[in-house]
Structure 1
Amino acid sequence: MKRYIDIAVNIIGNSMETRLEQVLADAASVGVSPIINIGSSLAESQASLELCQRFPKQMWTTAGTHPHHASQWDQHSQEQLRQLCQQPWVVAVGECGLDYNRDFSPRPMQRQAFSQQLALACELGLPVLMHERDAHDDFLAILKEYRPQLSRALLHCFTGTQAQMEAYIEQDLYLGITGWVCDERRGQELAEVVKHIPADRLLIETDSPYLLPRSMRPKPKSSRNEPKYLPVISDSIASLRQQDSQEFAEQCYLNSQRFFKLD
């Protein structure tokens, strides 16, 4: 059986949280294990930690503050995050970054929260899992300040252009690709870009419960995405890259193990 690691799942606060045992079993039945849940706020990161303790080795977590929640970041947040990140189930700082698409938090507060989380990742020697939407220039400028001290850095749910991809690869980033690449409406540019991402810098993710692959046949009754659909994304990218699906899946699995230092 092919092996997969879903490197970005959003479990807290939706139906997957109440069905987590079944969600994990369904994923494992198609080779998807473990999964990495995303901490989008300090409270969510704490809740995710508690789930990881219930499902050891099946689930890991990041801990951080998403740019949507950057307005909650205050003078105590960095120390609170430092305590969370010292727990053994935390494999990365994040999800942190910039989102100028929705601007749910003021941009100066987004930049401050992003910078302080990058600084903490450098201090703790942890990798960082990042988010960027419509903020490429500011994101890259801040990242460059800290990149020499960061152990490893991942931009998850990458949907950018060829030029943006090249700029991020120049900074030795890993790029996470979702079911966006399976969307015939919005994903056509990404379907071309993904062909050129270096094999050792490519990771795959569902970003569940979002971004259900539109290419799935038959279509699931629910529009909710789940980790069990990661093989669909993997096979789609392998086809676009004209790679053997088994070899591609294994490459991504090993990339994920290496990035997050998983056994």
Structure 2
Amino acid sequence: MGLLDELENEAQRRKSSDEDAAALKAARETAYRTVLEPAMADLFTYLGELVAKLKVLQPKVAITHTLAGYGDVIGYVEHEYELHEARQPSSKEITLSFFAPIASSECPSVQVEGSNRVRALSTLFQRHRFGAPLAQTKDTSGEVVGSTFKAKGRIPLTAVFTADAATGQLRMTFSNFDDLATAVKTVAPELVNEALYDQIGRYLMRDPTELMREVLPENYRSQLRARVHQQEVKRRWESQIVARQQEDIAMLKREYGIGARFNRIGDAMGKLRGLVSKKT
């Protein structure tokens, strides 16, 4: 193939790539305009109706998170919600935020000893605004070497729903729901419907739901199964090798023990011969 042919092929490849990118961009924009934009309006309406009912009914919704080095931090949702919608020419964002005041009487009172442990737990308490440590004890140099921790304050919970023409998808971001962190999930436009709204509502109320459980692709599942099988085979081989090594060691000990006994008998016979020869 000549140089001109190679350049022509490269130009065609780039043209095809640009056309594919343009087609993908157009498809995402169409999905946003025709599906996601009206769906976001429906979601905003759904969330507005949901919080209105929750304010009236005042259900007891518990939020429990485990804090490393401390234990469970327990709070109950305060049914005061802030629901906002932000609109841009090519995007929409819905934000729902509320708090769960911590039930200090249901949280443990933990005595922590050691400056490093106190410092580490103090950092976590400060990060999540769970109050300051109590009853501190210090050493002769003034360093804190012991403290009592008891959680107080409020757990902030935020749900953000974003859709735009650039991605053509719904992006859901939940903070401090399943744990003291942020979880993100993207949803294809064809899946944004009333069934999804219901899952979102149940998730916000901490009811059982599959909302944040990802369905793994079958090829990835196959890879995981193959990896688990390989690890199981490896463990069996390692167990067999260890068992064989233990048998070999036991055999050597037995042989060494028999040899040692023969050596001791030989030494005794030698000494006996020496005594006999002296007497003669």
Determine if the TM-score, normalized by the shorter chain, exceeds 0.5. Answer: no
Q: TM-score, normalised by structure 2?
A: 0.21
Q: TM-score when scaled to structure 1?
A: 0.22
Instruction: Tell me which protein shows more helix as a share of its residues.
Output: 2
- Higher radius of gyration, 1 or 2: 2
Which structure's residues are more often strand, by fraction?
2
